[in-house]
Amino acid sequence: MPGHSRLVKLISTFFYVGYLPLMPGTFGSFAGLVVYFFIKNNPLFYFLFTLVLLIIGLWASKEAERVFRKKDPKYVVIDEVVGMLITLFLVPFDLRLILIGFFLFRLFDTLKPFPVSSFQHTKGAIGVMGDDVVAALLANLVLQLLVRFAVFKIS
């Protein structure tokens, strides 16, 4: 199964971004921003791409636990990529909002407030991906509220 392991590592580490030192989750989130800039102008494609990446991420993260022989391996960053895409979904393009979204997602993913924390002890793919998806939904909610009630003008 060497080919299978290579494919799992390629996808789960998002083209090996997860192997970058010190803060793989932050690098994974940054990789999600790079993807965002390529797909941001087509909401339907953005939604479908994110959904497909989530499904692939669920498979890859489950397999990665077997390949790396560890629960929620730090190298797995497909969850952060998907998380960033969910964070910025349907948020108007504004560099301030993108930066705020990035920091909110990293904050919620790191601190794991409720309900994010409820996925921390879940086994398998849901445990790996679930906390990031919920952190991203919270970050998106905050961004949507900022857009509607912001004191700064959205360009």
Percent of the chain with pLDDT over 90: 81
Question: Exposed, middle or buried, 110 (CB in 10 Å: 0-12/13-18/19+)?
Answer: exposed
> Is the four-CA dihedral 91, 92, 98, 100 of positive or negative sign?
negative
The amino acid that residue 96 corresponds to is R
Tens of pLDDT, residues 8-43: 999 999 999 999 999 999 999 999 999 999 999 999
- Whether residue 12 contacts residue 63, with contact meaning beta carbons closer than 8 Å, is answered with yes
pLDDT of residue 120: 77
Using N-to-C axis directions, what is the helix angle for 95-111 and 78-88, rounded to 10°? 130
pLDDT of residue 29: 98
Domain residue ranges in the chain = 2-149
Measure Cα distances from 58 to 12, 63, 72, 122 in Å.
9, 9, 12, 13
Percent of the chain with pLDDT over 70: 96
Is it true that the peptide bond before 73 is cis, omega within 30 degrees of 0?
no
151 pLDDT above the threshold of 70: no
- pTM for this model (two decimals): 0.94
